[in-house]
Amino acid sequence: MASSVPSFPWTFDPFRVRMFACACLVMVAGCVVLHVCLRDKKQRAAGLSRLIIGADGRVSTSKFQAMLWTFIALFALFEITLERFWLGFWTLPVDVPVNLMIAMGFSVTTWTAAKGITVSYVEKGLVDKQPDASGERRGGLFTDDDGEPDLGKIQMTAFTLIAFLIYLFRLCAQQSSPPEMADIESSSMVLMGLSQGAYLGKKLTTIDTPRITGMLPPAALPGSEVTLTGINLGGSTSGARVLLADTPCSIGQHSDAQLKFVVPMTQSNGKEWTNAPVSVTLISSGRETISPTSLQISPAIPETNTIPVKV
Residue range 44-57, pLDDT digits in tens: 556 777 788 776 66
Beta strands 250-254; 258-262: pairing state? antiparallel
Residues 285-296, mean pLDDT to the nearest whole number: 74
Q: Give the model's confidence band at 11: pLDDT under 50 very low, under 70 low, under 90 confident, else very high.
A: low
Q: Give the model's confidence band at 304: pLDDT under 50 very low, under 70 low, under 90 confident, else very high.
A: very low
Percent of the chain with pLDDT over 70: 77
Say yes or no to pLDDT of 216 above 80.
yes
The pTM for the full model equals 0.61
CA distances to 17, 166, 173, 182 from 7, rounded to whole Å, are: 20, 19, 15, 22
- Partners of 242 in the beta sheet? 282
Q: Confirm if 295 and 277 have CB atoms less than 8 A apart.
A: yes
Amino acid identity for residue 311 in this structure: V
Q: Which domains are assigned to the chain?
A: 14-205 (no CATH), 211-297 (2.60.40.10)
Q: How far apart are CA 290 and CA 306, in angstroms?
A: 47
Beta strands 219-220; 294-297: pairing state? parallel
Strand spans (E) along 204-246: 211-216, 219-220, 225-231, 241-244
Q: Over the stretch 70-122, which tens digit does the pLDDT of each residue have?
A: 888 889 888 888 888 888 887 776 677 888 888 888 888 888 888 887 777 66
Amino acid identity for residue 22 in this structure: C
Closest C-alpha among 77, 151, 63, 78 to residue 114? 63
Amino acid identity for residue 78 in this structure: F
Q: How far apart are CA 251 and CA 260, in angstroms?
A: 6
Q: Confirm if 247 and 260 have CB atoms less than 8 A apart.
A: no
